[in-house]
Structure 1
C-alpha cells in the first residue's frame, strides 16, 4: 500500500530496464540490464518511490521459457539492485499471447487494474491518475493511460521505433532512457 511518504512508478521491463530481443529474453544469461537502468531504480527508491513492473511475457505460453526461468531473471535483477540500494516492490506479468484476447496483456488495462488494486485500494474510474508509467512501446503507455497514468516513453528498446510511428498518447514525455526519466522526475520534484 502506498503511504503518504511514498509514490508509485510503473515500469515496463524489456527495453526499459533490460535489453530487449525480438527472439524474447529467455534466460538469466539473456537478461542484461540497460546502462543506468538499475541506478535509476535505486535513485527513485531512495527518493521514496515504489516501483511496480508491468510486463507482457508471452514467451511463457509460447514455451520459450518457464516460470522458473522468469523468476530467475527477476532474482538476478533483485540481486543487482540490492548493492545499489534499489528494489522492485512488485512484478506483474501477462503470460498470454495476443490471440488469447485476455484483459491482462498490454495494451489492455487488466494488469494496470491489478496494480491499482494492490497499491491504491480505490474504486475510482481512473485509479492511477498522476502515476508515471514508463515504457518503450505504445502498448505500454496505452495500458496505463486508460487508468489515468502519465505516459513516459524511453528511447531504449523499441522506443525510437515507437516515437517514429507517432500516435503517442497526449502528454507523453520522452526520455533518452530510464536514468534520464528518473533524473527529470526528481528535478521536477525538487
Structure 2
C-alpha cells in the first residue's frame, strides 16, 4: 500500500479510510495504530463497565466487542457449567486477561512517565550496539549466575558508563537543554 511518491498525510488518509471500522478513528500510519500510552487500560475499563452493566455494550468500539462477547458468554456459562474454562479456552482467556487482570489494573491511578528524549545522538550510533550487548550479558549474569546482585549491577553500570554511556548521557543532556 505504501508508495514513496505519496506524502505521509495522503498515506494516512488512505489507511484511515481502509481501516476505519477496525481502528475506531485512531490515526494509522504504516499499518500501526497511533494511540495513547494508557489506551489498553481505558479499553479494559470500558469492557469491564459493559460487562458489569454500567455502560451499553453497543457503545463499545469495534475491537472491544469480541472480548465483551467472550467474557459475558463465559461468565454466564460458569453458573451451569463449572468446567467451562477447559471447554471454552478463548472465553476463559478473555475473561482472565481483560476482565480480571486489566480490568483490575484500570482501577489504579497510574503515574505514566514519558521519555525526555527519543532521538539518536552520534554517541548512540557509535556505542549503543555494544552497550545493548553489555546490558543483556549483565542481565543474564544477574538472573542466572550472580551470588551478589548488587555488586554485579554496580559493575554493569560502571562498565556501561566507561564504554560510552557517559558520552551518550552528556549528548542527551545537551539536546534537552537546547
The answer to whether the superposition gives a TM-score over 0.5 is no
Shorter-chain TM range is under 0.3
Of Structure 1 and Structure 2, which has the larger fraction of its residues in strand? 1
Of Structure 1 and Structure 2, which has the larger fraction of its residues in helix? 2
Q: Pick the structure with greater CA Rg.
A: 2
